[in-house]
Copies of this chain bind each other. A is one copy, B any other.
Amino acid sequence: MAVSARRGTPLTPEEIYNMALRLVDEVGVEGLSMRKLAAELDVNPMSLYHHVESKTALISQICASQGLRMELPGEDLPWRERVRLLAHAYRSLSRDHPNMWRYVHSHPEIIASRTGGLWDVLFSILVTVGVPESELRRTADVLYGFVTGLVFAESAGHIGQGQDPREADRTFETAIDLIIRGLGG
């Protein structure tokens, strides 16, 4: 029955993850501290360490679970459409939690496993397009770099600053068009 003195219920990992993500949304990963997180949960800072190995582990768990939320396009669509949907899926992830993705982007070790189905879909698209076996890996890497880079530049404000959102959308379409044309579309 040993329960927090300050709260009625015991801590759960989910509670911790959710609050951590909320804080990251507000103040960024750099702005998140175990102590602030604990305060927000109305708990002693050290209690967290019974449910979470470390701050780094906490962050990577959140990131991993977010990565799984990506909505991958179905196999039956024309490849141009699949490219478009895949790019938009990634962009939409990044827009839900920009602070988190900005961090992930510069800490690759956090999603060392190449984000689940994304790569399978990408390869399958390229096969459809007719990219030769020997170029598959290279081309997939290039497209990954392009799309993540664009999404990132957008979310970090490197590009399209102070424009209305519709303009940002159009820039993104321009990018997809360029990719499709580059792939031979």
Which residues of A are interface residues toward B (Cβ below 8 A)? 102-103, 105-109, 135, 138-139, 141-142, 144-154, 156-160, 167, 170-171, 174-175, 177-184
Tell me whether B145 and A175 are in contact (CB under 8 A): yes
Across the interface, do A135 and B174 meet the contact criterion of CB distance under 8 Å? yes
Copies in the complex: 2
**Contact present for B175 and A178 (CB under 8 Å):** no
Contact B139 A145 (CB under 8 A): no
**B106/A157 in contact, CB under 8 A:** no
Are B144 and A153 interface neighbours, CB within 8 A? yes
> A8 to nearest B CB, angstroms?
38
Decide: B150 and A146 in contact? CB cutoff 8 A. Answer: yes
Distance of A153 Cα from B147 Cα, bound (Å): 10
User: Closest CB of chain B to A2's CB: distance in Å?
Assistant: 37
Whether the pair A141, B183 counts as a contact (CB closer than 8 A) is no
Minimum CB distance partner of A174 in chain B: B138
Nearest CB on B from A1, distance (A): 42
Say how far A44's CB is from chain B's closest CB, in angstroms. Answer: 27
Q: With the chains together, A60 CA to B152 CA distance in Å?
A: 20
List 16 A-B pairs, Cβ < 8 Å. A105-B156, A108-B156, A138-B174, A139-B178, A142-B175, A144-B159, A145-B150, A145-B152, A145-B175, A146-B146, A148-B149, A148-B158, A149-B149, A181-B181, A181-B182, A182-B182
Are B141 and A160 closer than 8 Å at their CB atoms? Answer: yes
